[in-house]
Amino acid sequence: MAATWASTGERGAFAGLWIVAMVYRLLGRTLCMGLIAPLVVYFYVTGKRQREASLEWLRLARAHGADTGPVGHRAGLKHALAFAGGALDRFSAWLGDIGPERVTGLDDPEFVAARADKRGAVVLSAHLGVPEVMRAIATLGDRRGISVLAHSANAARFADLMAKMAPRSAVRIIEVSDLGVGAAMILSSAIEDGDWAVILADRVAPGGKSPSVWAPFLGKDAPFPVGPFVLASVLKCPVYSLFAVRKGARYTVRLRKFSDRLDFPRKDREAAVKASVSRFAAELEEQAIASPFQWFNFYDFWRL
């Protein structure tokens, strides 16, 4: 049985992350991918739980119409290499190497309308593709700050590395233990200033102790965190959903208005929260099926 992401120990060290970042800066993405490909193969062969979770995801996605081709170890390696490439894309985005000219979808009417709205907002995204291309959005000239909430030691280490490598970035990573009152206090002033707060809303917080709700996802119920949606309701601001995936040498962004404001009244609160979570899960399902190799949840997603 694949372990949950929160209980799976980090494979590799922060020093390795730093080395990859340095190699990327010196050699670029293509050469860096060539150098780390043997490591990806090694981790694929030795990481039984992650490998089995990857193959199970690809089989299920294919059964729901995803273009994966035959699902075997070739497809599994392709998935692992896509994950490594996604990590390099994260470096690229945070370092400012992905400019708006490489992002498709920024001229979409809904995206233009969202940028024109000077109110702060919560942006719900997922571990799919490269949501870090928000860094490119922050360079469009409207002086909008972007905060990315994360809750893991790995995220804190990545944030520290990016702070050293890109100190002037308009995007900041905020590491929080949970998406409760503390996170709301941190974000409140930023939202008032018109910033966007990006929250990855597809994983239950570490330990599986935070509130969650079950929602349909690829034909089975899966646990989704309640925190991002409750936090958005507390902040009383517009809410968007955003998915960004790599297509060739470019990136495609899809941003949609999720709600002008989430409101969960005491009466039927549980049903209202579940309805919002289920709607997000349906959007995520559509995007994940369209880009199955860019789904980066290497654990049994349907178990709490």
pLDDT one-digit tens code per residue, 38-89: 988 998 999 999 999 999 999 999 999 999 999 999 999 999 999 989 888 8
3-class secondary structure, 118: coil
At residue 16 the predicted structure's pLDDT band, cuts being 50, 70 and 90, is: low
Q: Is the pLDDT of residue 146 over 50?
A: yes
Element housing 247 (H / E) = strand 239-247
- Please report whether residue 61 resides in a domain: yes
Q: What was the pLDDT predicted at 11? A: 47
Instruction: Assess if residue 299 is contained within a domain.
Output: no
Structural domains of the chain, count: 1
Task: Establish if 85 belongs to a structural domain.
Answer: yes
Please, what is the angle between helix 269-290 and helix 227-235, to 10°?
A: 110
Q: Is residue 304 part of a domain?
A: no
Q: Which residues contact 45 (CB under 8 A, 6 or more apart)?
A: 51
Residue 196 in any domain: the answer is yes
| Domain range enclosing 63 | 14-294
Position 193 in a domain: yes
Residue 162 lies in a domain: yes
**Residue 134 in domain:** yes
Query: What's the mean pLDDT in 219-244?
Result: 93
